Amino acid sequence: MTTKLVIVGLPGSGKTTVFNALTQSDVATGGFSGQDEAHVAVVKVPDERLDLLTEMFNPQRKVPADIHYVDVGGLSKGMAEKGLSGQLLGNLSQGDALVHVVRAFEDDNLPHPDGSVDAVRDIETINLELMFSDLGIVEKRIERLTAQIPKFKGTEREVNERELALMHLLKEKLEADIPLREVVGDLEPEDQKTLRGFALLTSKPLLILLNVSESQLGEESAALVERARDQFARPGVEVDALCGQIEMEIGQLSDEDAAVFLADLGIDESSRARVIRLSFGLLGLIPFFTVGPDECRAWTITRGTVAVDAAAEIHTDISRGFIRAEVVSYDDMIAAGSMAEVKKAGKFRREGKTYVVESGDIINYLFNV
């Protein structure tokens, strides 16, 4: 599973700076980006458990999971009401989650388009833009279905009527200021599938990242996060802060130098790791591992995935020809120290297709094709 995080925000909020910080890229910042421009980067997911397993098994390769970041042009107030450009909407729609970069830093040399720096106002602005974008799509769909339905008969008609009812419900929720991520869970599986197909923006988990200046790090940034959390933390939403500028610069250093700088600034975990952790949490993603002399590797699945489906992450053949999964939980592996000791301790399990994979499970699939 490749996970994609798309960065949104007002023009000049620091999206590209944060993108550079999170991906250790070196894209030019400060030039107002065009609406249709997008930067893409692939990042290895930091995972201490994979690191430890790699030490234990000493394979030729360590293969962490991947995460994709996309940095798009600014979304400004009023844009969505007119309809976002196909390119920008396309870029936003492909995100599994959205990362909203909000300007919290003060800089007199960089005037804010709304005249002052106000993170809460800007979060509201972007939330509204995302709502308007969804509402526009839902309304168009309602129009289209309403026109089409009289021409249909039988099952086709039923399917379209069901979708129309769903669209009316979504419209009602959006007009009541309820993001669709809070609606999905209450729908029938069939409607959930239809909704997913539209990739509507408020149905995606949202990570709000306050982009603070170096001088705000610490108490001030914590207070800003607290305030934003009070107002905006709802299911599927997280709030956090980082100093994009500094972390962008630190991202260009070697790991050792970076650690020293972060410690000096009182930052205990780089935002690169934290943002991924928070996003995986919002998306309900967990890793499982495969280990061996060739490679130790992390795979990403959704919490609740059963063994036979998790196998498809590695190869569809393994899923199709599934015989069984040999599973060791991560803690058992670390406690025992080696596969031989795990077996001696009776912690080596044989599981069937419907075994629900746990975070950190070490799995060896037996299959036959």
**Contact positions toward ligand GTP, by CB under 6 A?**
9, 11-17, 29-30, 32-33, 73-74, 105, 107, 110, 211, 213, 243-245
Question: Measured from the CB of residue 46, what is the shortest distance to ligand GTP in angstroms?
Answer: 23
Stretch that binds Mg ion, among 8-16, 110-118, 292-300, 338-346 (CB under 5 A): 8-16
Instruction: Judge whether 228 and 214 are in contact, CB under 8 Å.
Output: no
Q: Rule CB under 5 A: choose which of 3, 13, 16, 216 binds Mg ion.
A: 16
Binding partner of residue 54 among ligand GTP, Mg ion, none, CB under 5 to 8 Å per kind? none
Least distance from ligand GTP to the Cβ atom of residue 114, Å: 14
Q: Which is nearer to Mg ion, 28 or 176 (CB)?
A: 28
**Closest to ligand GTP by CB, 56 or 265:** 265
User: For residue 106, what are its two tokens?
Assistant: 């003060």
Q: Let me know the angle formed at the C-alpha of 22 by 94 and 47, rounded to the nearest 5 degrees.
A: 95
We find the least distance from the C-beta atom of residue 19 to ligand GTP, in angstroms, to be 7
Q: Which residue is nearest to ligand GTP (CB)?
A: 74
Q: Which does 205 bind (CB under 5 to 8 A by kind): ligand GTP, Mg ion, none?
A: none
Shortest Cβ 77–ligand GTP spacing (Å)? 13
* Burial degree of 55 (CB within 10 A; 0-12, 13-18, 19+): exposed
> Cβ contacts of residue 287 below 8 Å, gap of 6+?
45, 47, 49, 50, 65, 298, 299, 300, 301, 359, 360
For residues 178 and 204, what is the distance between their CA atoms, to the nearest angstrom? 13
In the complex with Mg ion, which residue's Cβ is closer, 16 or 125?
16
Tokens of 120: 């809460």
The piece of 28-36, 62-70, 323-331, 341-349 that touches Mg ion (CB under 5 A) is 28-36
- Please tell me the number of Cα atoms within 13 Å of 96 on its side-chain side: 17
At its nearest, how many Å lie between ligand GTP and the CB of residue 16? 3
Partner interacting with residue 127 (select from Mg ion, ligand GTP, none; CB below 5-8 Å by kind): none
Amino acid residing at 91? N
- Exposure string (b/e) for 149-183, b if CB count within 10 Å is 16 or more? eeeeeeeeeeebeebbebbebbbebbeeeebbbeb
Radius of gyration of the chain (CA): 23
What share of residues in the chain are helix, strand, coil (percent, to 5)? 50, 20, 30
Q: Closest distance between Mg ion and the C-beta of residue 92, in Å?
A: 14
Residue 12 interaction partner, one of Mg ion, ligand GTP, none, beta carbon < 5-8 Å per kind: ligand GTP
Could you say which residues in the range 29-48 bind Mg ion, by CB under 5 A? 33
Q: What minimum distance in Å lies between the beta carbon of 25 and Mg ion?
A: 12
Distance CA 307, CA 321 (A): 12
- In the complex, which residues of this chain contact Mg ion (CB under 5 A)? 15-16, 33
